[in-house]
Amino acid sequence: MTGAAGFLGSYLCEALVAKGAKVTALDNFTIGSTSNLEPFKNEMQIVNCDITKNEIRSYIEGSQIVFHLAAVANPRSCREDFDLAFKINVEGTKNVLDASRDGLRVIFLSAAAAYGNPSYIPIDEKHPLNGRDPYAISKIMAEYLCTNYYQNCGVPVVIVRNFSTFGPRQTPSYIIPTLITQALQQKRLEIWNPKPTRDFMYIDNTIDALLRIAESEELIGDVINIGSGEEVHIGALTEKISQMFGGLPIVNLNKDVVGSERLVCDNTKLKKVTGWKLIVPFEDGLQRTCSWFKQASLGQ
């Protein structure tokens, strides 16, 4: 697994280890943290590895499945340094695909950002890729590489377009941990704009979906969405977090919307092909996440 020490990667490693899988966790630890892997580090091989280097081939040879999660996944970071985003998100993906030419199945984690501002809601896999920001563009280019390697080189690839996963251990650069951190440290919540909507889904649901996708023969060479199918306004999300911390004040900065105005997943295909269904509802997941950050702030 690439990006194994990141938020999503570490949970996936934990789930695979629990299933008895032999896991090689690859990460260069510039974004991912060793602490995310600490509880189960002795149950897998952990390698400090740069996916843009050819050394990756030696680490994934003999594997059955490669979960390719490594990326510059923060849209702001991609805007600030597109050279780095291109190197990791595009060239790094090509390197992983080259190393998988011997028939390794590759599960590539793309993003709903590739859809851009939607032409219709909810968004299914047939929706045009209208993403325009640097992060979305890098993911679209990587998707085209995956399709090319499947069609021309026979690499069995599945492209996964993930919507907005959240949960404990997520870095503060994402909206939910940002708001929770504000609640803990500033005792008030600041949002740029309450109008955008996102499809937030708790981490346990995403991991279950990824495991099911990896086991599906039907999805090889195909694209699949991962999301809850529920639309949540940023304003409503902020209000829920405010109430979970006793009713904190909310400051609306009234800034322009950055990225897509609405993103809502059509998960019909995921349910039909894999039998997936939601395990943890949004509000339960939000409560668990708030509780984890509270405990972490106290050093527990």
Strand partners, 189: 250
The secondary structure of residue 26, as a DSSP letter, is E
Q: What is the pLDDT of residues 13-41, one digit of tens each?
A: 999 999 999 999 999 999 899 999 999 99
The answer to whether the beta carbons of residues 166 and 231 sit under 8 Å apart is no
Looking at residue 300, what is its pLDDT? 59
Confidence (pLDDT) at 220: 98
Q: Cα(40)–Cα(186) distance, rounded to whole angstroms?
A: 34
Q: Using CA atoms, how far apart are residues 71 and 110, in angstroms rounded to an integer?
A: 9
Q: Which DSSP letter does residue 38 get?
A: G
- Per-residue pLDDT at 276: 98
The pLDDT, as a whole number, for residue 19 is 96
Instruction: Report pLDDT for 113.
Output: 94
pLDDT of residue 299: 73
- pTM as predicted: 0.95
Eight-state DSSP code of residue 2 = B
- Burial string for 124-140 (b: 16+ CB within 10 Å, else e) reads ebebebebebbbbbbbb
Residues of the chain scoring pLDDT < 70: 258, 300
- Domains detected in the chain: 7-168+200-231+262-280 (3.40.50.720)
Question: Please, are residues 125 and 224 in contact by the beta-carbon 8 Å criterion?
Answer: yes
CA distance 218 to 199: 25
Contact predicate 273/125, CB 8 Å: no
| DSSP letters for 100-120 | TTTT-EEEEEEEGGGG-S-SS
